[in-house]
Amino acid sequence: MPAVPTDAGLPPVVDRTVFQRELDALRIREKAHTREGDAIAAARRRLPMVEVDGRLELTGFDGTTTLLDVFAGRRQLLVYYFMWHAGHPAPQQCEGCTWVTTQVVELSYLHSRDITYAVFCQGPFPESARYREFMGWEVPWYSALPSLDRLLVGRHVGMMHIACYVRDGDRVFETYWTTLRGVEAMDYSLALMNLTVYGRQEPWEDSPPGWPQPWRVDGSNTRADGRPIAQWSRVAAGRTDDLRTGLPPKT
């Protein structure tokens, strides 16, 4: 992975008073950005919704289940639709989906708001469940293949998505969906990078001359040495890339 070169540009050096004055000016813009985000979230809560058949089938560790069952008794359901390359080993699976899924670990805060989180893989269950095992993830995991076209009706099947659902008794409704940079809502790494002096180090960013920007947004920004970055620790732990055989135990 490229390191920041020692001759990379740096901001001008000033005294603490000047630094704080510039930071205070930026803080005004940050607070306006936060308030605009709150206003957008308020508008999102006022969107209409569309009914989805709660009997749509998915495949999980217990076999065939339904969209309604995935709620696990909670009122709301938040789903990440994981892209899948059928028949391919772990290094060839989606680096973007691996990046965001790796960062969703603690679900208790979602549960406290009556929200179930689940991954709906867009590929076959046995292969993708083995990938979940390879990565060491514990999030609820299903294959959406049996109902994928109806779950993502009108959208690009095969692309990463977040979708939100609410149930009213046995009726299920979709309330929101997003894709592409919208899935950054699941991320903390890029959000933290945005706070640093060099940012994400990607060419599209508006940075001063001399700032390092080697990470192209073409998949390589979440890959290193031929595989998704997060996989390397799993390889070091001795886990196999082969996703073709067997089914992991229910966890």
Lowest-pLDDT choice from 12-21, 28-37, 133-142, 230-239: 230-239
Question: What's the pLDDT at 94?
Answer: 92
Question: What are the backbone dihedrals phi and psi of residue 236, each rounded to the nearest 5 degrees, phi first?
Answer: -60, -30
Under 8 Å between Cβ of 215 and 2: yes
Question: What's the pLDDT at 38?
Answer: 96
Please name each of the domains of the chain with its CATH number.
50-181+228-236 (3.40.30.10)
Question: What's the pLDDT at 7?
Answer: 84
The Cα–Cα gap between 70 and 147 comes to 14
Name the more confident of 139 and 223. 139
pLDDT tens string 39-48? 999 999 999 9
Question: What are the backbone dihedrals phi and psi of residue 162, each rounded to the nearest 5 degrees, phi first?
Answer: -115, 135
Q: What's this model's pTM, rounded to 2 decimal places? A: 0.91
pLDDT confidence band for 25 (50 / 70 / 90): very high
- Average pLDDT over the chain reads 92
Under 8 Å between Cβ of 250 and 62: yes
Question: What's the pLDDT at 221?
Answer: 85
pLDDT confidence band for 248 (50 / 70 / 90): low
pLDDT tens string 148-195? 999 999 998 888 999 999 999 999 999 999 999 999 999 889 999 999
Question: What's the pLDDT at 240?
Answer: 84
**Mean pLDDT score, 64-87:** 96
Question: What's the pLDDT at 232?
Answer: 87
Name the more confident of 29 and 250. 29
Question: What's the pLDDT at 250?
Answer: 56
**Mean pLDDT score, 223-238:** 87
